[in-house]
């Protein structure tokens, strides 16, 4: 009992001792605060008032005092008109050290009598923050003190508009934009002077921008000023990173990520009349816009324009990841799509604001690719109630939508409407490649097809939002081809467990499905349902043409034919998703008969068991029996005898860049006169009717059409017409002569004998005589 009693008495004594110390500490603060900063306080100068307010902020205490690891020291809480509480645990003596340092820096700058807050605030930040290193506190505590300083100075701007002369504002900025940018930039620049190491820069800079942005509701701003101010705060923080001693370019990207993440989180802390959750999408666009523009202002060893694309990726990644950190009344997952659209839109629109040696409009394609890659890859970093892998496909749609729709906002020498197509291609390519960067519970390779459909859907739908000199509805079909080309070409760059070349066919199918289904969402003057045919054609040709860009183990040119089939079926299968005035989505099959061709039919030729059509764009499509490859699709599958097959018939591979000017079909083979005046034939070759010096059928095996060469008509000779018989072929040459080859049992070749020609090596070319 004595022992317990002794411990009880000791405990009470210690408690009373700490209480006494606390009271003394409070009295010490009261004395210090009443005397300003330890210097003369009779002065009523603007700087002394701001510093006195800083002293008060640093000394404010929570109503419920809590003991922390400083053994009884009170945790001081700085109140602000936000949902976040700022705290520090400084003694009165430590607070005096900070405020005295602030006053000394103001004096050293001869600003004691200044009535210009734009000049004063950076000096107060500098002086106060520099003294933190003398306090002997932890890095975590130092960051807390910095945020209280920044918050206090923001609050000190309230009701002091007369001390914010527009003449002192930076060119093109308002006084409020300038002073808040300077407070942020100075605070970031002096992170190292506060005693923090390079490893603390990311956390400190994130907390700084989150605090300043979160404090905007208490610094006298109107809600209409917020967007411009947020732009400058995020930009000011990024711009100041090069002033931190010991900070290297290797850490730059991660810190930029932290800055935009912190800035995004701070948006939810703003409490201001006229500002609500509905404004978040615009504000987050300002976060990425400001940070993007500032990338060109960084000047540090090892940093050049070559680093820009990596940095812009961090800009959008940080903001995306920060979406889950926002805490605001009524904020939920339903707000995410619009915010993502503005994250990539803000960054894209500001690409022209970057000014840096070595950076020009030639760099824009790489930059916009990283804009969408950064946001896409960071989708798994969003952590909030109601958000899961089920939301990802919708989110990625907005990523490409925002970037595409903002392409017309880029103002830069050398950038014009002629650059749009390559920019759009990179928008979908960047997002596609980054699908493998997403790390999230419930997300795996089986989700990729849904993601692909939305990547192209988002970009396609936003083509009508582009506003740019020289851009009109006439450009749409070419642009949509780049939407699918970019996505298709990047499929081989996805790195993800469980994703292999076996997935490619289903992926390309969704590439065209997404773009097709979104055609009705394009809103643009001069665009209507009559344009669908041309749009459909370009959706397919864009994707088909990009198959050669896929580099992936297990995939080669022999797979192109199967891929082409999937490309076409994807588009045709999505026709019912189009909603457009004048378009009957309930009967897409008949509509697609026109849309799938993309052009009117110029000529049709029918054989015994198959038919081919020459389209006005020079492509050839065939259907019917294909036991010998006469359809030209590298297989012997019959086409057109099953429901829906006609909608997915691809064009015949006539060779890279080649089109046809005439076609002729007979028993089991097909011939085409090409645009370069050469002749190609495929299908059955039992009598040499294909003219290739053997009797091997062509077009029924994988890769054969790509390898098929033009017929040798003789040195310097070309053709002007071609015609097929049952098993023999004739061509009119450019010199008006006629040559025939193939079966000759009845002398149909006109050679004066019954010998077949073209079925053995050496029989074609100059060795094949013309008909006399």
Whether residue 472 is found in the same domain as residue 621: no
* Predicted confidence (pLDDT) per residue in 695-731, tens digit: 999 999 999 999 999 999 999 999 999 999 999 999 9
Q: At a CB cut-off of 8 Å and minimum separation 6, what does 10 contact? A: none
The answer on pLDDT for 33 being more than 50 is no
**Residue 15 confidence class, pLDDT cut points 50, 70, 90:** very low
Which CATH number does the domain housing residue 635 bear? Answer: 2.130.10.30
The answer on pLDDT for 37 being more than 80 is no
Whether residue 701 is found in the same domain as residue 630: yes
Whether residue 570 is found in the same domain as residue 608: no
Query: What span, in angstroms and rounded, lies between the C-alpha atoms of 592 and 570?
Result: 12
The answer on pLDDT for 656 being more than 70 is yes
**344 in any annotated domain:** yes
Whether residue 610 is found in the same domain as residue 700: yes
Coil, strand, or helix at residue 740?
A: strand
Least confident range of 139-153, 484-498, 544-558: 544-558
**448 in any annotated domain:** yes
744: phi then psi, degrees, rounded to nearest 5? -140, 30
Average pLDDT of the residues in 464-479 = 95
> How many CA atoms are closer than 13 Å to the CA of 581, on its beta-carbon side?
4
Last residue of a domain, one of 569, 598, 627: 598
* Predicted confidence (pLDDT) per residue in 352-384, tens digit: 999 999 999 999 999 999 999 999 999 999 999
Residue 302 structure tokens: 């090892």
The answer on pLDDT for 414 being more than 50 is yes
**231 in any annotated domain:** no
Average pLDDT of the residues in 18-31 = 36
Q: What's the whole-model pTM score?
A: 0.75
Average pLDDT of the residues in 607-613 = 92
Relative orientation angle of helices 336-349 and 392-405, to the nearest 10 degrees: 30
Per the structure, the count of domains in the chain is 2
pLDDT at site 84: 56
Coil, strand, or helix at residue 237?
A: helix
Query: What span, in angstroms and rounded, lies between the C-alpha atoms of 133 and 124?
Result: 16
pLDDT at site 61: 54
Last residue of a domain, one of 546, 567, 598: 598
Last residue of a domain, one of 563, 598, 633: 598
**477 in any annotated domain:** yes
pLDDT at site 642: 81
Please name the helix (run of DSSP H) or strand (run of DSSP E) that holds residue 420, with its range, or none. helix 420-433
Whether residue 568 is found in the same domain as residue 613: no
Whether residue 574 is found in the same domain as residue 607: no
DSSP H helical ranges for 501-621: 504-517, 532-545, 560-573, 588-595
430: phi then psi, degrees, rounded to nearest 5? -60, -45
The answer on pLDDT for 2 being more than 90 is no
**Residue pair 626/610 in contact by the 8 Å Cβ criterion:** yes
Closest of 183, 180, 174 to residue 224, by C-alpha: 174
Whether residue 464 is found in the same domain as residue 441: yes
Whether residue 697 is found in the same domain as residue 724: yes
**Residue pair 420/403 in contact by the 8 Å Cβ criterion:** no
pLDDT at site 722: 97
Query: What average pLDDT is seen over the chain?
Result: 89
Residue 59 structure tokens: 């000394």
Query: What span, in angstroms and rounded, lies between the C-alpha atoms of 615 and 660?
Result: 9
Coil, strand, or helix at residue 664?
A: strand
The answer on pLDDT for 173 being more than 50 is yes
pLDDT at site 588: 64
Least confident range of 27-41, 512-526, 624-638, 739-753: 27-41
Whether residue 617 is found in the same domain as residue 562: no
Whether residue 424 is found in the same domain as residue 497: yes
**518 in any annotated domain:** yes
Whether residue 540 is found in the same domain as residue 656: no
Least confident range of 205-219, 235-249, 364-378, 594-608: 594-608
**Residue pair 145/58 in contact by the 8 Å Cβ criterion:** yes
**451 in any annotated domain:** yes
The answer on pLDDT for 78 being more than 50 is no
**Residues spanned by the domain of 366:** 332-598
**247 in any annotated domain:** no
**522 in any annotated domain:** yes
**Residue 660 confidence class, pLDDT cut points 50, 70, 90:** very high
Least confident range of 40-54, 441-455, 550-564: 40-54
Query: What span, in angstroms and rounded, lies between the C-alpha atoms of 363 and 308?
Result: 9
Closest of 19, 103, 96 to residue 58, by C-alpha: 96
State the first-to-last Cα distance of the chain, in angstroms, to the nearest integer. 134
Least confident range of 56-65, 216-225, 678-687, 712-721: 56-65
Whether residue 570 is found in the same domain as residue 643: no
**Residue 758 confidence class, pLDDT cut points 50, 70, 90:** very high
């Amino acid at each position: 009992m004595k022992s317990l009693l002794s411990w009880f008495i000791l405990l009470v004594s210690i408690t009373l001792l700490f209480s006494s110390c606390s009271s003394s500490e409070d009295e010490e603060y009261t004395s210090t605060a009443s005397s300003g900063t330890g210097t003369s306080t009779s002065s009523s100068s603007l700087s002394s008032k701001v510093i006195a307010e800083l002293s008060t902020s640093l000394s404010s205490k929570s109503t419920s005092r809590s003991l922390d690891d400083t053994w009884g020291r009170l945790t001081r809480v700085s109140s602000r008109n936000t949902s976040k509480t700022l705290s520090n645990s400084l003694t009165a003596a430590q607070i005096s050290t900070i405020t005295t340092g602030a006053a000394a820096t103001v004096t050293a700058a001869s600003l004691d009598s200044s009535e210009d807050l734009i000049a004063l605030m950076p000096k107060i930040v500098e002086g106060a923050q520099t003294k933190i290193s003398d306090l002997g506190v932890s890095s975590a505590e130092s960051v807390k003190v910095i945020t209280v300083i920044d918050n206090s100075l923001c609050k000190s701007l309230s009701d002091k508009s007369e001390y914010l002369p527009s003449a002192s504002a930076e060119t093109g900025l308002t006084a409020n934009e300038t002073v808040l940018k300077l407070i942020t930039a100075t605070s970031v620049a002096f992170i190292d002077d506060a005693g923090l190491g390079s490893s603390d820069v990311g956390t400190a800079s994130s907390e700084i921008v989150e605090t300043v942005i979160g404090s905007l509701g208490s610094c006298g701003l109107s809600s209409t000023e917020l967007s411009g101010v947020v732009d400058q705060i995020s930009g000011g923080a990024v711009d100041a990173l090069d002033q931190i001693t010991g900070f290297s370019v290797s850490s730059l990207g991660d810190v930029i990520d932290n800055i935009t993440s912190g800035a995004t989180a701070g948006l939810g802390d703003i409490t201001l009349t006229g500002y609500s959750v509905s404004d978040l999408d615009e504000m987050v666009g300002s976060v990425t816009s400001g940070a993007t523009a500032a990338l060109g202002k960084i000047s540090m060893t090892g940093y050049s324009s070559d680093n820009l694309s990596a940095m812009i990726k961090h800009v959008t990644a940080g903001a995306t990841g920060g979406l889950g950190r926002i805490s605001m009344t009524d904020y939920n997952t339903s707000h995410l799509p619009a915010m993502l659209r503005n994250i990539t839109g803000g960054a894209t629109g500001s690409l022209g604001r970057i000014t840096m040696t070595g950076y020009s409009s030639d760099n824009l394609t790489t930059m916009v690719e990283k804009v969408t890659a950064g946001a896409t890859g960071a989708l798994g970093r969003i952590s909030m109630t109601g958000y899961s892998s089920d939301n990802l496909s919708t989110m990625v749609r907005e990523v490409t939508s925002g970037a595409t729709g903002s392409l017309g906002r880029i103002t830069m020498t050398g950038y014009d409407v002629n650059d749009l197509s390559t920019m759009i291609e990179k928008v979908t390519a960047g997002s596609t490649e980054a699908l493998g960067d997403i790390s999230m519970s419930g997300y795996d390779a089986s989700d990729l097809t849904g993601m692909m459909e939305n990547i192209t859907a988002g970009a396609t739908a936003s083509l009508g939002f582009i506003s740019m000199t020289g851009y009109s509805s006439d450009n749409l079909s070419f642009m949509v081809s780049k939407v699918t080309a970019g996505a298709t070409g990047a499929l081989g760059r996805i790195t993800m467990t469980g994703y292999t070349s076996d997935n490619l066919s289903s992926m390309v199918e969704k590439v065209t499905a997404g773009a097709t289904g979104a055609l009705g969402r394009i809103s643009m003057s001069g665009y209507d349902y009559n344009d669908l045919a041309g749009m459909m054609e370009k959706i397919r040709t864009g994707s088909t043409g990009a198959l050669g860009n896929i580099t992936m183990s297990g995939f080669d040119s022999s797979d192109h034919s199967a891929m082409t089939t999937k490309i076409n079926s994807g588009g045709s299968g999505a026709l019912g998703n189009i909603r457009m005035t004048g378009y009957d989505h309930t009967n897409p099959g008949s509509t697609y008969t026109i849309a799938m061709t993309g052009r009117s039919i110029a000529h049709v030729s029918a054989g015994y068991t198959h038919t081919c059509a020459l389209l006005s764009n020079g492509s050839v499509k065939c259907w019917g029996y294909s036991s010998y490859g006469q359809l030209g699709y590298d297989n012997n599958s019959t086409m057109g005898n099953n429901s829906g097959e006609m909608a997915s018939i691809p064009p015949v591979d006539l060779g890279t860049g080649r089109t046809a000017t005439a076609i002729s079909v007979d028993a089991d083979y097909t011939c085409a006169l090409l645009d370069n005046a050469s002749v190609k034939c495929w299908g059955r070759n039992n009598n040499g009717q294909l003219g290739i010096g053997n009797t091997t059928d062509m077009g029924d095996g994988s890769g054969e059409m790509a390898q098929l060469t033009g017929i040798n008509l003789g040195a310097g000779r070309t053709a002007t017409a071609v015609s097929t018989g049952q098993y023999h072929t004739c061509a009119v040459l450019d010199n008006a002569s006629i040559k025939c080859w193939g079966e000759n049992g009845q002398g149909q070749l006109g050679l004066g004998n019954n010998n077949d020609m073209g079925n053995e090596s050496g029989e074609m070319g100059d060795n094949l005589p013309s008909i006399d």
